[in-house]
Amino acid sequence: MRKLALAIVAVALTAVTVLAADVAGTWNVDGDVVGNPVKFTTVWKQDGETLSGMATLEGKDTPVTGTVKDKTVTFEFDNDHEGTTYHLVFTGTLGDDGGLKGAIAVAGVEGTFTAKKQ
């Protein structure tokens, strides 16, 4: 009986992992932080709930890390701008249209963003 219960739990946990949305690919991100435009392209690879990839901002490629849990996508990276390094954290929700919409946190302030998959 115990083996059957463990097998059921293992199957249930596998099913939860499968539910992570597939967001691998190229995304165009458009946002705003306190009147400052945030616009870039990011390419993600996905392994289960883990994201990795590159963002291209101001002509520079920057490594990106993140997670996907159900319909919530979080990704982050460092960006050098005019001699200062900023850590940006994006948290968004996948909509029924397949796009992302959410918040940007950077340097103690917040903004908003949308993203569309190419």
pLDDT at 16 over 50: no
CA distance 29 to 27: 6
Going through 5-108 in order, the beta strands assigned E by DSSP cover: 25-33, 36-47, 50-57, 60-69, 72-81, 84-94, 100-106
Query: Any idea where the domains of the chain sit in the sequence?
Result: 21-117
pTM of the model: 0.82
Tens digits of per-residue pLDDT, 56-103?
998 899 999 999 999 999 999 999 888 999 999 999 999 999 999 999
Tens digits of per-residue pLDDT, 24-36?
999 999 999 999 9
Domain 21-117: CATH superfamily is Quinohemoprotein amine dehydrogenase alpha subunit, domain 2 (2.40.128.120)
Task: Name the amino acid, one letter, at 37.
Answer: P
Nearest to 108 by CA among 91, 88, 94: 88
- Contact indicator for 115, 27 with CB cutoff of 8 Å: yes
